[in-house]
Chain A
Amino acid sequence: MNHLDPQRHVRGESQYLDDVPTQQGTLFAAVFESPLAHGVLVNLDLSAALAAPGVVRILTADDIPGDNQIGGIVPDEPLLAHGHVHFRGQPVALVLARHEHQAHAALKLIKVDIEPLPIITDPRVAAAQGELIVPPRTFKIGDSAATWASCAHVFEGVAESGGQEHLYIETQGAYAFPTEMGGVRIISSTQGPTAVQRHTAHVLGLGMHQVEVDVTRLGGGFGGKEDQATPWGALAALGAYCTKKPVKLVLDRMADMRMTGKRHPYSSDFKIGLDKDLRIVAYEVTFFQNAGAAADLSPAVMERTLFHATNSYFVPNVTATAFSCRTNLPPNTAFRGFGGPQGMFVIESAIAKAAEELGIPACEIQRKNLLRENDLFSYRQPAEMCHAEQAWDTAAKEFDLAGTRAEVEQFNQQNKLQKKGLAVMPICFGISFTKTPMNQARALVHIYSDGSVGVSTGAVEMGQGVNTKIAHVAARTLGISVNRVKVESTNTTRVANTSPSAASATADLNGKATEMACAALRERLLRHACTEYTLNYEGLEIRDEQVLAAGVPAETDWEKLVSSAFWKRVALTENAHYATPDLHFDAATNQGHPFAYHVYGTAITTVTVDCLRGTYTVDALRIAHDFGQSFNEVIDRGQIEGGAVQGIGWMTMEEIAYNAEGRLLSNSLNSYKIPDIYAAPKVLDVHFLDTPGHPKAILRSKAVGEPPLMYGIGTYFALRDAVRAFQPRTALPFSAPMTPEKVLVSLYPEFSAAETGWNATAVGTPASIAS
């Protein structure tokens, strides 16, 4: 079965936020943002802007009836700046005008007086000054400090990974309507409808029941609309509440890029110890997370970095510490992988460093240290139903790792100005919200009297195909065609207190709830069939819309059964609640069983670097992935391909640049580049590993949203491999993304402003260039 939504997407009929027909009288909002990254807000002069054509009202912190606070984990983020500004792009005021362009024109007329304060953009500087979002945390197993002396090899280093702009193609936005009871109804482009509802209620000083949030679909989210859709929903709601008019707020691309947070950049110190057989004995790592100006989801992201600090490897002695550092940048936030990729990048760097120093291929160390059944993670959960070695070995065999390596070596011997590189990237990713209470979901299922079915859950469709999966679960459980099932918009009045669509767990949680609700309805209908048609309950089932008694068609089918149940006053609605069993985690000891299960996989990446120009191509990305029992291969493959290419983007061309004043330089699609069709790997193979799946995964089909992003990390190490093939003596820092600039300067390390000639770079002595 295909993803259901694309039928409408290709015809342009799917409705996104900005496509909702505009109600008459709607006011358009534009956000006035802080022009400085840190300072005291001395004065705000709105007079000229208020007099501008079309301007109806300008709202500031003073207009907020409730609490000016939208911090999710830590209450440290005002909706509109008050007293201080903490980052460039922080919302200060909201202009409401009759036309969108009038609202934007008025922004230029607002005068703000800010007394500047010192600006920090570097997380290590912030940590040194004690600017921490939350106290640091340490995950520890064994005793790394006591182990160094007995290690055969010990290596230390620094690894840095950059931020990443989500670049959902649909920008952030919300459309709010005043309701007759003094509340608001918000159409929001959010992954977390409940977050928008809760914070809006708080800001407006209302009960949550007075705020309704509805989401049909998102034009991409990737974590960027988990917490950071909230300000725009709350601002639109504030406008609607204050003016009693509908208010629409859609960020233009550059405003979105300036004002919203991104994937957290990390700067980390590592130390790795191996025994003489290349077993990793000890690993110490300190992460400095660049959190930006407010907590947002940073503490949770930081925690997941610690969970994934050892990636797919078993390490008996681990000390992993993380600092969430407050800087004057927009608050960084969730992004596919949620800190996991940042953690994995560091241990892969440590392994690469060891391999480079020892003069052996990194994969020798990697393979030897893969997790095995019942190995403990630093947080004490054992690796159960572990497929790390299976994934590696299958990839190595299916994709001929040995042969590929030989080819690369041969190519490099024969070519001077082009070099190939190879890297293997195993992954292991834990599925569940690491905050245990969030692992709950509900589904509301109506069977209408004509036999059609409506399903509401807390899942938000943003391209990941969750609605299709849920429809499939409902149809399969009820024994009917998927065409009878409609998955409704995500609405806080139908399904309350939801967790955001995140942590790759949406289909599992909401799918399980749907399965439970449908199973209860099925049982009720079959019990009804029992009495109505005097059948034996044992052996009764519904298959392909036909009621079967011990495999034999009974005299009723789905439609008739539903109709008769309705007339006999049988409840055709069910509401089910699912909470993932057996999860626990103690954040004081950093021990427990936080994940329902882990997902495994291995990717082999090959690249070619043009050593004349410093440019490169990803030739092939070949992946063996643990889907469990996939019940929708089109969707699941799409998640792998899309995630992997996003990961490649993060590791190669996606370079977030802020200047020392905290101004975003990579502030548009013109200056921030994500992969285009030519940047995708020429070959992208996905092998479905033969694994049983996990009982806690929906229909044993494992979560697939985030894990593939981390395959992209292999590209960084493959590029490094190629650069070193050309220039073995280069001092190559572990610093992602590996832009063409970094590649070129690594290829020609002796070049400098003073030494611009070639004579300085006496490297290699090829006879002539024929390649």
Chain B
Amino acid sequence: MIEFYLNDQPIRTTEAPASALLDFVRYHEHLMGTKIGCREGDCGACTVLVGELTTDGQKVTYQSMTSCLTPLGNAHGKHIVTVEGINAAAGQLTPVQQAIVEEGGSQCGFCTVGFVMSLTGHSLSEQPATEKSTIAAIDGNICRCTGYKSLERAAATLTAQLANRPTQNAVAWLSEKQFVPAYFEGIPAKLAGLRTQLADAEAKAKALNEASFATAGNDAGAVSTSPSGHAQSQNGHGSSFPHAAHPLLGGGTDLLVQRLEELREQPVRLVFDQSGRRGIRQEAAGRVVLGAATTASHLLESELMRSLIPQLPQYLKLVSSTPIRNMGTVAGNFINGSPIGDLTIMFLALGASITLADLTGATRELALPNVYLGYKRLAKTADEQVTEISFPTSLPGDFFNFEKVSKRTHLDIASVNSAAWLRVENGIIQAARVSAGGVGPVPLYLARTSDFLVGRELSAETVAAANEVMQTEISPISDVRGTVEYKRLLLRQLLLAHFLRFAPEEIVVSNLI
């Protein structure tokens, strides 16, 4: 049984947990405001808001998500908001809607609800609204009609209005200004009630089952924390016993694109809301540890991550879009095994390893480069779950850079991406880790290139020589993202780009370019 609030209505459903929230909203609840443009997270026409009760039970934080890829199971315990849930009575427009209408930000209208929801989500956010952040809120929404300038003007209007939003009790202000209906103020209490109720039910079920797995409440209150995740059978009844064969599902941003039909027919192990799978912490042993359900947005919000990698916001701006970053997990990116996974490429250069737990709870650690055996072939069994990701803390003065080039700069898959980490003393490279994606069957840790760099000086000659090594270490193929020649050339350029970022003065390029 999946329970949540849809707008102001409580929902209890036995629909499949891996089915798309979009289908539930449109075809089960007949709320037709949410549109379908692609079913692969790439257009934003299906954007809804997902509100989650904070751990202290006081507040609900809202994020935009593409409902076409949101597993229904991930709505459990949450507040799902569609346009019908923010519309004011009697044809009145909310300030977001008003701004779009006034500026001519809607033509055919098919994309419009997505923009309305993203901007409403932004209004509900706790971050200050700036010109940039408001535009960033709609970076996952594609419009074929307007050319976006009118939407930018609407965003500017909104940014100005949100300047007055108080930091305390913002929802009351937002409801007074009709950004959201008044019922929003009661949602934290409703979700808190739901949390208690689900926890009770869970406790009872546990007592009945005498399950041998350790369980505890989590944020949403009703999800088992066994290493194998919380399982839900398709119809909500039958065994909730975790089963080895059940696929693991994180944010769903890869899996629901690839295998929605098939997953809908079977139980899955949901890890997105699993307790203890979130959070980013600094361990004493000089390592940074992330829970496996950490999303790209969590990385962005983490002060620790930003202090370690000051350029992180710029890097992550190149990774998917706001709603997808709100959903997609770091572990999902690793395990999806795409040769051009951006987070994977970053973490390869950061020297990450993953902790895998099997069904008995036994764990092992695996260095990230060793995860990849061949195209989408991993050194991991189907029942093993990633529980944690860790990487060594950089020292002050260490260099890190991430580069990505795609046909469209934002919300696109890389043609080639690359990350590099360097430790330099007195102009000599002491340690190096370079990774590259899109140039082989797996996300590549460039071991030979990295080794080659060590002990050499930071100079144009070193870059040129490293490129020669690197070119022998890669094996790109021609595809829709580029020809072999292009990918080789591009990676050479990105290698240079890393070094130009690290040490512009030292890299004299007269003999390079």
Contact = CB atoms under 8 A, between A and B. Distances in A.
Interface of A: 2-3, 5-16, 18-19, 21, 101, 104-105, 166-171, 217-222, 252-253, 416-417, 462-465, 612-615, 634-635, 637-638, 641-646, 653, 655, 657, 665-666, 668-671, 673-680, 684, 739-741, 744-745, 748, 751-753, 756-759, 761, 763-770
A612 B500 contact: yes
A276 to B, nearest CB: 39
Nearest to B154: A10
A693 B429 CA distance: 69
Given A253-B39, A769-B509, A677 B108 contact: no
A729 to B, nearest CB: 14
12 contacts: A10-B93, A11-B83, A13-B33, A169-B45, A170-B108, A638-B104, A643-B147, A675-B147, A677-B135, A744-B486, A766-B509, A768-B509
Interface in B378-415: 403, 405-413, 415
B470 to A, nearest CB: 9
Nearest to A256: B38
A673 B494 contact: no
Contact of B87 (A12, A634, A655, A674): A12
A163 B508 CA distance: 42
Given A642-B107, A669-B42, A756-B468, A10 B100 contact: yes
Given A253-B37, A668-B38, A677-B138, A220 B464 contact: no
Interface stretch (B109-117, B226-234, B240-248, B450-458): B109-117
A351 to B, nearest CB: 26
Contacts of B504: 768-770
Contacts of A19: 32
Contacts of A218: 108
A614 B104 contact: no
Contacts of B149: 641, 645, 680, 684
Interface residues of B, number: 94
Interface string B480-513: 1111111011101110110010001101111111
B108 A763 contact: no
A9 B412 contact: no
A14 B273 CA distance: 35
Contacts of B138: 677
A644 B148 CA distance: 11
Nearest to A643: B147
A97 to B, nearest CB: 14
Q: Is the interface of A mostly helix, strand, loop or mixed?
A: loop
Interface of B: 30, 32-40, 42-43, 45, 82-84, 87, 91, 93, 96-97, 100-113, 116, 135, 138-139, 141-152, 257, 261, 403, 405-413, 415, 464, 467-468, 471, 479-486, 488-490, 492-494, 496-497, 500, 504-505, 507-513
Q: Give the 6 A-B CB pairs with smallest separation, nearest first.
A: A12-B33, A463-B108, A9-B109, A219-B110, A645-B147, A463-B107
A539 B263 CA distance: 74
Most buried by A among B33, B407, B504: B407
Contacts of A751: 485, 488-489, 492
B424 to A, nearest CB: 18
B463 to A, nearest CB: 8
B40 A613 contact: no
Contacts, number: 277
B510 A10 contact: no
B151 A677 contact: yes
Contact of B480 (A6, A416, A645, A666): A666
B161 to A, nearest CB: 16
A764 B512 CA distance: 9
Given A634-B104, A740-B415, A655 B150 contact: no
A764 B43 CA distance: 42
B245 to A, nearest CB: 22
Given A464-B107, A677-B148, A613 B403 contact: yes
B104 A10 contact: no
Given A11-B91, A670-B413, 13 more contacts: A5-B106, A10-B97, A10-B101, A15-B32, A219-B35, A219-B109, A253-B37, A675-B408, A676-B410, A684-B149, A745-B489, A757-B468, A764-B513
A540 B31 CA distance: 50
B192 to A, nearest CB: 29
Given A11-B93, A11-B97, A740-B415, A220 B108 contact: yes
Contact of B107 (A465, A677, A757, A764): A465
Contacts of A252: 39
Nearest to B484: A753
A655 B407 contact: yes
Contacts of B261: 101, 104-105
A22 to B, nearest CB: 9
B148 to A, nearest CB: 4
A763 B152 CA distance: 40
A748 B97 contact: no
Given A673-B412, A758-B511, A768-B510, A744 B490 contact: yes
B147 A169 contact: no
A335 to B, nearest CB: 12
A657 B407 CA distance: 13
B104 to A, nearest CB: 4
A641 B105 CA distance: 11
Contact of B147 (A18, A646, A748, A767): A646
A678 B139 contact: yes
Most buried by B among A3, A18, A669, A674: A669
B493 A613 contact: yes
A646 B412 CA distance: 18
Nearest to B411: A676
Given A12-B34, A753-B485, A217 B108 contact: yes
Contacts of A676: 139, 142, 148, 408, 410-411
Contacts of A670: 40, 42, 257, 413
Given A219-B35, A684-B147, A3 B97 contact: no
Contacts of A634: 103-104
Nearest to A416: B513
Contacts of A6: 100-101, 104-107, 109, 112
A220 B147 contact: no
Contacts of A655: 407
Contacts of B37: 169-171, 253, 669
A744 B513 contact: no
Contacts of A104: 261
A643 B146 CA distance: 8
B405 A758 contact: no
B39 A9 contact: no
Contacts of A684: 147, 149
B509 A3 contact: no
A170 B107 contact: no
A675 B493 contact: no
Nearest to A166: B144
Contacts of B87: 11-12
Contacts of B108: 9, 168-170, 217-221, 462-463
Given A169-B144, A638-B104, A739 B407 contact: yes
Most buried by B among A101, A641, A653: A641
Contacts of B143: 169
A757 B110 contact: no
A644 B149 CA distance: 11
Nearest to A678: B410
A685 B35 CA distance: 31
A745 to B, nearest CB: 6
A294 B4 CA distance: 51
A763 to B, nearest CB: 7
B407 A10 contact: no
Contacts of B490: 613-614, 744
B489 to A, nearest CB: 5
A105 B260 CA distance: 13
Contacts of A641: 146-150
Contacts of B151: 677
A306 B500 CA distance: 49
